[in-house]
């Protein structure tokens, strides 16, 4: 069957409607990952696959002082070959696993996002490469809490 331009537009419109109505959301995808439901830092690390090895090949990009904990810009660059996943954990948050990214093969492992932080805490970046876990951390001081402060 030939796909016409009109059929493509109808399909895209239907998908957009489902997303705007909240029937399909990115949050639903996050809920299907067990690490996001954890309530402690140790549980989150275990859900990702166990204790990661420290690595100097991971660059954690965070401000030394965040003026507003509600929107803390963070980033990570992994120079480890065959990086497949990058996760951000905020040690003192009520739900420590804050974000996760899947890195397609052949893609530079460089991600950036904004996280919510309730208080001064270590931000740990966990990287999965060749089936092994690696990590690096950096402390970020929060002057105005983002999780209810």
**What does each of the 149 residues of the chain score in pLDDT, given as a tens digit?**
456 777 777 777 766 665 665 554 444 444 556 678 888 999 999 999 989 999 999 999 999 999 888 899 999 999 999 999 999 999 999 999 999 999 998 889 999 999 999 899 999 999 999 999 999 999 999 986 555 44
Q: What is the pTM of this model?
A: 0.75
Residue 75 and residue 110 in contact, taking contact as beta carbons nearer than 8 Å: yes
Cα–Cα distance for residue pair 35/78, rounded to 1 Å:
21
Predicted confidence (pLDDT) per residue in 112-147, tens digit: 999 999 899 999 999 999 999 999 999 999 986 555
Cβ contacts of 95 within 8 Å, gap of 6 or more = 36, 37, 38, 39
Cα–Cα distance for residue pair 25/21, rounded to 1 Å:
9
């Amino acid at each position: 069957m030939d796909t016409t331009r009109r059929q493509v537009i109808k399909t895209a419109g239907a998908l957009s409607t489902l997303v705007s109505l909240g029937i399909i959301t990115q949050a639903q995808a996050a809920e299907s990952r067990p690490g996001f439901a954890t309530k402690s830092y140790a549980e989150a690390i275990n859900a990702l696959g166990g204790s990661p090895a420290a690595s100097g090949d991971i660059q954690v990009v965070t401000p030394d002082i965040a003026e507003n904990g509600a929107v803390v810009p963070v980033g990570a660059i992994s120079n480890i070959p065959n990086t497949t996943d990058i996760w951000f954990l905020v040690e003192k948050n009520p739900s420590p696993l804050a974000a996760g990214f899947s890195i397609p093969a052949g893609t530079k492992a460089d991600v950036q996002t904004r996280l919510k932080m309730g208080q001064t805490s270590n931000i740990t970046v966990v990287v999965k490469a060749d089936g092994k876990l690696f990590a690096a951390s950096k402390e970020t001081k929060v002057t105005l809490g983002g999780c209810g402060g």
